[in-house]
Chains A and B, each alone.
Chain A
């Protein structure tokens, strides 16, 4: 499979900002849903142009954490946080940090493919349009570049004006990835992006992730440990709202430091 991004300026001009290549630095971050303490003292550094996988059993807080990185978690009423998450050295919980600004830099792909009930073209153009791009020619270019970036251009180039619901679930998910690419983000968050897909579509998305990490930093939550070991550079193991272990994927899977990590990846629970 070949994926050609038309140019790499997207990631490059955003990376020049700080010399450090830390994208996200989480410091002593806690999160509560009402009285439920869902994330406990999280400390993590996420590096540029890497794939960071987050694994753990259901209810361990991995989805909550990834949704905190673009503050989508705040759509749930009664959420409280403490501590800091620095994105490119700026605390995203700062009062004057606008979530809309954060979310234009940090794209998200969700568990279930969720295209809008609009044409494929309008789905991809949605992000650029809300950020003020009206020029049809520029939109056309963004749509093509994003669809190529998500390795689905060849499959849909003749049906851009068809409703996005008319294509298969796997294609829909890649449309959603293309839609996230269209806002030219710096980071892509993926919340179990393949859990609703068949094995072949899953493979395509995994290959895509490998391509995308050249230009983007990717954080992916997954239930599937094989997936984590196949595609990620670093893996974090979450359990009961804590980071049990966070290290290079190779060491996590071949030589886990913590007994609980070993039990989980060897399938003794979870």
Chain B
């Protein structure tokens, strides 16, 4: 068991549920959100080490999440996942210091490895 906190934001419940279950197996504390607004609000109360966010969401999208997180909590690592292999978005995300960028479907093993690397960066 460790105390790392991971947040997963995706407007599809199945993604959050699956991510939560597999990441909790690694001993992380995981919170999931279906949209970005309450997620960002929650970040004001609690520090998260890694935020995994969908790129395309209604309301605040993944890029906005990345921007906000990097502004407010520079140490927090952001991993972006997207249903579309969108090169422009990937480039912009990289410019904004995204930790990783995955097209969906995402291999859970790779996501876990990426989170581990992100946490090494934080530590």
A pairs with B: no
Which residues of A does B touch, CB under 8 Å? none
